[in-house]
Amino acid sequence: MQPIITIKGINKTYTSGFQALKDIDLEIRRGEIFALLGPNGAGKTTLISLICGIVTPSSGTVHVAGHDIVSDYRAARSTIGLVPQEVATAAFETVAATMQFSRGLFGKPRNPAYIETVLRELSLWDKRHAKIVTLSGGMKRRLMIAKALSHEPQILFLDEPTAGVDVELRRDMWAMVRRLRDSGVTIILTTHYIEEAEEMADRIGVINQGRIIVIEDKAVLMNKLGKKQLALTLQNPLERLPEELAGHRLELSADGNEIVYTFDSQAEHTGIPELLRQLGKHGIDFKDLHSSQSSLEEIFVNLVRPRP
Ligand SMILES: Nc1ncnc2c1ncn2[C@@H]1O[C@H](COP(=O)(O)OP(=O)(O)O)[C@@H](O)[C@H]1O
Ligand SMILES: [Mg+2]
C-alpha cells in the first residue's frame, strides 16, 4: 500500500542559522499510530509543522495523500488535522460554533451530523452550547481535537497531546486516540514520554538533535530500549553454570571467565540482587563487574530523566 505521507531528504535551517532538521526520510503508513519520540528541542514540532505547511523546508519534499505540501498546499493541508502543542481557542465562542468555524475555514459544507458524531465521540456533546472559557482543562484539550477533526481529515497530528496532563486524563486521551485510529484516521503524535510511545504507537521514530536515529515497530524497539547487560568477570573460570542458575538471561563466556546477565532495565525488579545471592550461595566470586546498554538506551535515559 502507498504510504499516506512520504518525506524525502528534508532539511530545515531557521533564519537564525540553526539547523533543526537533518536529512529526514520517513514514510507514514495509512491507518497507523506513529509516535515521534524525542527530548525537548529534538525537532518534533518543527517536523510536524513542516508537514502541515506552517514551516517551509530548506530542502527535500513531503507528499501527503499524494499531494506535494509546497506546490499543492491546499489539497495536502485539507487531508490533515493538527492539534498544536499549546491549547489556543477563542474563549467566548461555544464548542459547536468553534468546530463549525474551523470546518468553514477549509471550505467544507455544513454537516451537523458529522459535528455531532465527533462531539459525542469526544464526550463534548453535552457541552456543545457551553462557552469555551467555562470548560475544564481536559475538555479544552478534547475540543482542540474536535477542532482539528472538523474538516474530516484522514490524518491527525497530535503535538505532545498529554504534556502536563494528569494520569487519568492521559489514559482518557490515549483511549480516544485509539478509537480515532479504529475509525480509520492515521495518527502521528509527538511525545517526550517513552511510556506514551510504548502505550500508543504501532511504530516509533526516535528523533534527537534534528535527526531520526531509528524507526522501528514498537515491539522491536521496546525490546532494544529495555535491555541492559551486566558482565561479571570471575575470580576463577567456571566450566559450566550451576544447574540452578543455568537457563534464561544468564550466559557463561566460552573461556569460562565471564558471566553475562541480560535484564530488562525498565522492569521494577532487575533480578540482580537475587543473581548475586545465588552466585554467593554457589561460591562463585567475581573480581570485576560492568553494565552496558545500547546507545538507544542512553538516549532513552536522557529522555526520561525528570526535568526540573
Ligand atoms: N523559529 C525558530 N527559529 C530558530 N530556532 C527555532 C525556531 N523554532 C524552533 N527552533 C529551534 O529548533 C529546535 C527544535 O525545536 P522544536 O522543533 O520545537 O523541538 P521539539 O518540538 O522536539 O521540542 C530547538 O532547538 C528550537 O530552539
Ligand atoms: Mg515541540
| DSSP tally for the chain: helices H, then strands E | 10, 14
pLDDT for the residue 248? 67
Ligand 1 close to Cβ of residue 18 (< 6 A):
yes
C-alpha cell at 202: 504501532
pLDDT for the residue 286? 93
Q: What is the CA radius of gyration of the chain?
A: 24
User: How is the beta sheet containing 186-191 ordered, strand by strand?
Assistant: 80-83, 155-159, 186-191, 33-37, 203-208, 211-217
| Ligand 2 midpoint to CA 183 (Å) | 27
DSSP string, 34-64: EEEE--TTSSHHHHHHHHTTSS--SEEEEEE
| Ligand 2 midpoint to CA 47 (Å) | 9
Beta carbons of 224 and 273 less than 8 angstroms apart: no
Q: Which sign, positive or negative, has the C-alpha torsion 208, 211, 217, 221? A: negative
Let me know if 181 is exposed, middle or buried by CB neighbors in 10 A (0-12, 13-18, 19+): middle
Q: Which atom of ligand 1 is nearest to the CA of 55?
A: 1
pLDDT for the residue 295? 55
pLDDT for the residue 303? 57
Query: If you classify domain 5-223 with CATH, what class do you get?
Result: alpha beta
pLDDT for the residue 92? 82
Query: If you classify domain 227-304 with CATH, what class do you get?
Result: alpha beta
Beta carbons of 267 and 296 less than 8 angstroms apart: no
Break the chain into its structural domains and give their ranges.
5-223, 227-304
Question: 36, 45, 55, 209: which to mutate for ligand 1, most atoms within 8 A of CB?
Answer: 45
C-alpha cell at 105: 475555514
pLDDT for the residue 169? 81
Nearest CA to ligand 1 atom 4: 14
Amino acid, res. 71: S
Give 236's DSSP letter: S
| Ligand 1 midpoint to CA 41 (Å) | 6
**Residue spans of the chain under pLDDT 50:** none
